[in-house]
Chains A and B, each alone.
Chain A
Amino acid sequence: MRRLAALVLAACLTLALAPAQASAFDLRPLKGHVSDPDHLLSNHDRSDIDDKLTKLQKDTWVAVTILVMDLPEDTDFAELGHEAFAKWKIGAGVDNSLLVVIPRTGHSHVHQEHAPPQFTKKEAISVASAEKPNTSVADRAQAIVTATSDLLRLRAMHRRPRGTIHKARGIKFLSAFAALLALMVLLTIRANKPQPTFG
């Protein structure tokens, strides 16, 4: 009987703790490009950054999301980024999306979930370190948005060319298609050549 009670207690404890393990961070539903659950940004700053990121997405086709949050120093940013990508479906599974986490204190982090990533490691560090120390969260966020925007706009000018996947093979197929097209033209002309009439 005692063993059964212990089992029931263990099961209850497991069930009670399970949600806490599943979601370690307070990620509320995302509206727009900025999530600010602790209200570290003013309404004006939030809407300004959101507008900038919306325009950036329109211009460069990269979805950037900013998470501003009061986080402890030992936060696992990789885990937070992974969870945010999964919950918010940033970029909806498409690779051209990134998340910038700006904690109240400490350094910001750029998280890229999909391969190939938008930024190289060096670029991600340069974006994250664009913030000036000892400034307000809003200023840091604005600085990061500017750095991200500059880099992405520069990238947009040198977009990854289409069809890089099997380009050489594609050109071979294209040549074969052109040859077949020529054959078709010849066959059509031959088949529809006016026949000589007699009498």
Chain B
Amino acid sequence: MAKLRSMVAPPLSLEPRGDHSGDEPSGAPPLVPGPEDSPTAAVTAPLAPELVDTLPRQWFALLRAHGPIAALVVIGAALRGFALSESKGSLIGDEAYYVQAARVIVGLPVLATHLHMAVARSFVDPNREHPPLAKVIMAEMIRLMGNREVAFRLPSVILGTLTIWLIYAIVLKLRGTRSQALLAACVLTFENLCLVHGRIATLDIYFVAFILVGTLLYLSSYLEVAALAFAIATLCKTNAILGLFAVLLYDAFMGRSYWRTPVWPTVGRRVLVVGLYLGFFLIGLGTLDCFFTEFTGPIAHLKHMASFHAGLKSQGSSGTHSTPFLWWNDEGTFNYLSVRSTRHGVVTKRLLFQAVMTGYVIFLAPLGLLYAAMKAWTLRSPLATFALASFLGNFVPIFMAWAVMSRTSYIYYMLPIIPSFALAFAFASGAVPTKVRWGFVAVMLYACALQYPIRVL
């Protein structure tokens, strides 16, 4: 009982501090642990009757503190995991590349209708334009659970659900309030692009989840472990390098007073983190290359990836291609999969997986980011500064690649940028009345209900 009590009492340091004076108090009131709260004291001393009375209150406090995020995580998992095999036999969007690659890695024959690669060898990753880690995870799941939709989509569901808790924890780390953290988590739970990518077997949700893991570790001062997380993200998809860029940008913004007189030990630790990141990435890529590709080392593979991606030139806004300008108006959308089941001429089921952002999110994003940018400059709020840094770090390079190098771009490139929108909304929500926050949650639910990809009619 006493052990339970010691578990229930949250450490004081974990209680977030509000970024705004107008914020409501976050979660449970902090419990001050007394000397009898230590496990050793509990074993020797009998439980005082007045403390027994406080236990239900502690349980209530625990529920109040962690219940909402637990509920959001459960809802997020349910939305992502519901009817995973509904698209029996069909691959959704770029699954046609990555699931096929995973099947080849595991040694399965690939059906002719799914062919995207000219020639492939069993056990060797044919999708050489991306690092192999995410595909290897899918392949191992296929080996473990068989060649079923659940097998290759389950990691996406787990990682997609994990992002909900991660963004919540990140807001708390950035001194946001619990209600701000919940609002950010709500965005990632119900936003369409996050939801769709959280239930299909593509590389994007893998690297976004690992970027958020790295970000949380970085903000928790585990910089070296964060380097490993960012390297793992980059081993899933090379775009993840922008995640590290974003946190370094955040550091630079937060420490702008020291630009003229740098604190060298601090700078040195960041340089070490970058070095560790590069080391983990190159050695990790080399390891994966030797076991799952025909490359003899990471440099040859990097050269191939660089030449491949440099060759992808924009073909205007047609089909799946679109320009970054269009994304801000929620244009450039396309369908990953559209299937209608009919019985006696009546539509009974509809599967519509769309590459489209939730309108409320993308239309409010410029306002949220602008507000965050203003307050990042004037208040030096960590939450606002990180929202801005995360947006700039992830969006500007993609925009520049399109603008300068005419690189092909797709609307789902916005997926790693949506967490920065969530952070900006979370920050801005501190300045609006509670009813407006609830209104935002309501419209997110409404949009999710309209855009949910599976509908039984």
> Which residues of A lie under 8 Å from residue B296 when comparing CB positions?
166, 169
* A61 lies within 8 A of B290 (CB): no
Q: B291 contacts A94, CB within 8 Å?
A: no
Residues on the A chain within 8 Å of B221, using CB: 191-192
In whole angstroms, how far apart are the Cα atoms of A51 and B59 in the complex? 58
Please list the 3 inter-chain residue pairs (A to B) with the smallest Cβ-Cβ separation, ordered nearest first: A170-B290, A163-B291, A63-B109
Instruction: Give A146-172 as 1s and 0s: 1 = Cβ < 8 Å from B's Cβ atoms.
Output: 000000000000011011111101100
CB atoms of A184 and B122 under 8 A apart: no
CA distance A57 to B103 in the complex (A): 13
Q: Which residue of B lies closest to A186 (CB)?
A: B224
Q: Which of A19-27, A67-75, A133-141, A175-183 contacts B (4 or more CB under 8 A)?
A: A175-183
Interface residues of A in 10-56 (CB under 8 A from B): none
Which among B118, B122, B224, B294 is the interface contact of A188 at CB below 8 angstroms? Answer: B224
Report the separation of the CA atoms of residues A90 and B113 in the bound assembly, to the nearest whole angstrom: 11
Q: Are A188 and B222 in contact (CB under 8 A)?
A: yes
Contacting pair A95 B111 (CB below 8 A): no
Contact at B109–A165, with CB atoms within 8 Å? Answer: no
Interface residue ranges of B118-159 to A (CB < 8 Å):
118-124, 147
Also in contact, A191 and B269, with CB within 8 A (given A91-B109, A176-B283, A180-B276): yes
B120–A165 CB distance below 8 A: no
Given contacts A61-B107, A165-B291, A170-B291, contact A93 B224 (CB under 8 A): no
**How far is it, in angstroms, between the C-alpha of A163 and the C-alpha of B291 when the chains are bound?**
4
- Taking the closest CB of chain A, its distance from the CB of B375, in whole angstroms, is 30
The interface residues of chain B lying within 8 Å CB-to-CB of A167 are 290-291
| Contact status B279-A94, CB under 8 Å | no
Contact B287 A61 (CB under 8 A): no
B225 pairs with A173, CB closer than 8 A: no
Is the CB of B227 closer than 8 A to any CB of chain A? yes
Query: What residues on B are CB-neighbors of A96 within 8 Å?
Result: 107, 109, 122
Interface size counted on chain A using CB atoms at 8 A: 38
Decide: A94 and B280 in contact? CB cutoff 8 A. Answer: no
B168 within 8 A of A: no
A93-B120, A163-B123, A181-B228 given; 19 more Cβ-contact pairs under 8 Å: A90-B112, A92-B110, A92-B114, A93-B117, A95-B120, A95-B121, A95-B122, A160-B122, A162-B291, A163-B291, A164-B123, A166-B290, A167-B291, A169-B296, A170-B290, A173-B287, A180-B280, A180-B283, A191-B221
Chosen A-B contacts, 30 in total, with CB atoms closer than 8 Å, are: A61-B106, A61-B109, A88-B112, A91-B110, A94-B104, A94-B110, A96-B107, A96-B109, A114-B121, A162-B291, A162-B292, A163-B290, A163-B291, A163-B292, A165-B294, A166-B290, A166-B296, A169-B290, A170-B286, A170-B287, A173-B287, A180-B279, A180-B280, A184-B224, A184-B228, A184-B280, A187-B276, A188-B222, A191-B221, A192-B221
Write out the residue numbers on chain A whose beta carbons fall within 8 Å of the beta carbon of B272. Answer: 187
